[in-house]
Amino acid sequence: MAQDASEKTGAADERRVREIAIVTGASRGLGAAIAERLLAPHRRLVCVARSGNDALAARAQASGAPLDYLRHDLSDAQDTDRLADALSALLRAHRDARRFVLVNNAGIVEPIGRIEALRSEGIAAALQVNLASLMRLTAAFLDATDGASGERRILGISSGAARHPIAGWAPYCATKAAVDMFTRCIVDEQSRRANPARACALAPGVLDTDMQSTIRSADFPSIDRFRELKTQGGLISPEQAAARIVAYLERDDFGSRPVDDLREHAGR
């Protein structure tokens, strides 16, 4: 069922807000960890998720960091349109901000299984959450900030699966590969603008999240590799990944590589 609810937290003076940052999939895992890293009195943080995040709201209240928490379901195209309209209105109301940031983190790995077993419902869900909603929110972000003087940065959470096929993960691999190409298209289009938005599709590595729990309980040819990563301590915590992602987002050369992988920057 589509949800359309919002919560506001934090007591920071609106005049102190110099940045608007939007994070999707912020209720748990990597999205929640990124949101916590981005909480700051000078930044208006806008989080999107189907369910709430009480810990984040409490931290925002305690620190005086402005937080808007929007409850929407990105698997629902109509609800995604409502969210896009809400984000557009918020961005237009703060067009004097010095920086606008969009972190497209929300994603699902299902359906997992042989291609022969794919059905329309599962395919449509993967396409909607992983790709269509990301494209729609990016479109709203770019349109609402077009002509603004502030810097604009768009970060899409990609995956190594976008660049290396994994048997049993066809919808996930295909949608993440599409995110990579969509990001390249953003960079190409924006290069012709006076104040081009910067964009990057960034693969964070294999994370220790609920998604990995789903993967380890599934049945596909390379399942043993993912189970071994867990037992041998080869997974990255969401907090570790979020720290590196936010640092990457802040880099002066952000966007110079439209498609990138954090594992290629281990020493940086």
With CA atoms as reference, report the closest residue to 96 among 22, 41, 19. 19
Contact of 25 with 31, CB cutoff 8 Å: yes
Contact of 199 with 154, CB cutoff 8 Å: yes
One pLDDT digit (tens) per residue for the chain, 268 residues: 444 456 776 544 455 569 999 999 999 999 999 999 999 999 999 999 999 999 999 999 999 999 999 999 999 999 999 999 999 999 999 999 999 999 999 999 999 999 999 999 999 999 999 999 999 999 999 999 999 999 999 999 999 999 999 999 999 999 999 999 999 999 999 999 999 999 999 999 887 666 777 877 677 777 777 787 677 877 789 999 999 999 999 999 999 999 999 988 865 5
DSSP the chain: ----EEEEE----GGG--EEEEEESTTSHHHHHHHHHH-BTTEEEEEEESS--HHHHHHHHHHT--EEEEE--TTSHHHHHHHHHHHHHHHHHTTT-SEEEEEE--------S-GGG--HHHHHHHHIIIIIHHHHHHHHHHHHHTT-SSEEEEEEE--GGGTS--TT-HHHHHHHHHHHHHHHHHHHHHTTSSSPPEEEEEE---B-SHHHHHHHTS--TTHHHHHHHHHTT-PBPHHHHHHHHHHHHT-TTTTSSSEEEGGGGTT-
pLDDT at site 3: 46
With CA atoms as reference, report the closest residue to 141 among 97, 176, 105, 90. 90
69 is catalytic: no
pTM (2 decimals)? 0.91
pLDDT at site 209: 66
With CA atoms as reference, report the closest residue to 70 among 50, 100, 89, 93. 50
pLDDT at site 12: 44
pLDDT at site 68: 97
Distance, CA of 210 to CA of 230 (rounded, Å):
12
Contact of 251 with 202, CB cutoff 8 Å: no
Distances in Å between the Cα of 97 and the Cα atoms of 17, 60, 115, 234, 254 are 7, 20, 46, 40, 19
Q: Which neighbouring-strand residues pair with 45?
A: 21, 67
pLDDT at site 36: 97
pLDDT at site 220: 72
pLDDT at site 218: 77
pLDDT at site 230: 73
**Residue of 172, 182, 248, 254 with catalytic role:** 172
Domains of the chain and CATH, by start: 5-261 (3.40.50.720)
